[in-house]
Amino acid sequence: MYLMQNAIRPYPWGSRTAIATLLGEPASDEPQAEMWVGAHPGDPSHLHTGVGDPSAAPTSLLDYIQQNPSRAVGGAVAAEFGEVLPFLLKLLAADAPLSLQVHPTAEQARAGFADEEARGIPVDAGHRNYKDPFPKPEMIVALTEFVALAGFRDTAETVRLLNALDVPAATALADTLRKQPGADGLAELVPSILAMPAEKLTAALDAIVGACRTAAGQDGEFAAEYRTVVDIAERYPTDAGVIVVLLLNRVVLQPGEAIYLGAGNMHAYLSGLGVEIMACSDNVLRGGLTPKHVDIDELTRTLDYTPGGMQRVKPSRVGPLEVDFRTPTSEFALSRLTLKSGDEQMIEHSGPQVLLATEGEITVSDLRDGTLTLKPGSSVFIPATPGRVWISGTGTVFRARDGLGVPKKTAVAAAPAEDAVSAVAS
């Protein structure tokens, strides 16, 4: 097992304080949006492999896997996904909205990647949609209060939200959904909003955002949704995505709660700090709220318009110290261990794993490499070679691994409070 050195990505929407505070460091001079923990080619972690020699240069986890595939990821992972680490773990800290985005299915990713390769579009081109042939399901577990937009709201509720604004631009949207409720109505409405002519869009935004500003101050049923629209419109005043925001579920996660975002789910993180895990892919189709490339045609072909896409994940207790956040995917699995003084958890492993501490001081021991100590933000990579590790100390640590052989569970519509997890055996 090896201590990891992880890169922090300075995207403009990141927080200057959230990750720094978790690491016990002063506020950063630049935004710190994501800390990547894994073997993504864009910013792979590095391993301290020089046992007994602290001056040895760290080794890229990507290189380590390529040089030691059997030991690093094992036969089962290689057979299913290739000689790669199939998941990417992150600390994500949002201080401003991310783009409205959707991720493709495996079939869409393969077809889209093959098409763009055949057309000779460079992988690093700004207008490239598919950087690889893989899907990108993902899940985030909140460490602080975490606010997101995720999936389309029930259309009957959206009709009430739009009509309550009492302006013709919003009423016209509501009429479309009233006459054609559900996915069919959304499939007609969303592309029409995103392709709205500039003059009509300007008038609609002026009327709708103005009405939202008034309604947000009245503390009614949808006040939080209206405030979100106003806040986003201040950053993107001419973006059609501002109107699409009114169609999406606004999700507030408390620490320990999670949402799973499968293929086709339109979403945008708004604020908060969380642990995110995803398939190791770069495929993002953006629908607005960004200066980056937006491909409306490809986005609308990829979207799942089914209402009710707010998929909260109910944690399942698998032991006195550990809960699983189960999803339908095989690329990743994630659990959380919470330890008090004197606690110890033994884990048998036969696949690659990453441990990421988020609180306290965690000790990880094995018979081969001895003992490593993890502070918040520290992580360790455990190769696939079968063995055991012992986790002890006081604090919280997340355990990421591939999802092969892990019990699956479809995401559910509501999550319990932090201490109300179900006691379901693995």
Single out the catalytic residue among 128, 153, 250, 286: 286
CA separation for the pair 46, 80 (Å, rounded):
24
- 349 labeled binding residue: no
SS3 353: strand
Q: Which two tokens stand for residue 21?
A: 């505070």
CB-CB contact of 86 with 258 (8 Å) = no
Residue 286: active-site member:
yes
Q: Annotated binding residue at 225?
A: no
Cα angle 46-52-54, degrees, rounded to a multiple of 5: 50
Which CB contacts under 8 angstroms, 24+ apart, belong to 370-379? Answer: 372/1, 372/3, 375/24, 376/22, 376/23, 376/24, 377/19, 377/22, 377/23, 377/24, 377/35, 377/91, 378/3, 378/4, 379/3, 379/4, 379/6, 379/37, 379/45, 379/89, 379/354, 379/355
**76-113 as b/e, with b when 16 or more CB fall inside 10 Å?**
ebbeebeebbbbbbbbbbbbbbbbbbbbbbbebbbebb
Distance CA 17, CA 293 (A): 29
Range list of β-strands (E), 280-331? 285-288, 312-313, 316-317, 322-325
Q: Alpha helix locations (H) across 155-274? A: 155-163, 168-179, 183-194, 198-216, 223-235, 241-244
Which residues 6+ apart lie within 8 Å of 107 measured at CB? none
Letter for the amino acid at 365? Answer: S
Residues in the annotated binding site for Zn(2+):
101, 103, 138, 267
Active site residues: 286
Residues in the annotated binding site:
101, 103, 138, 267
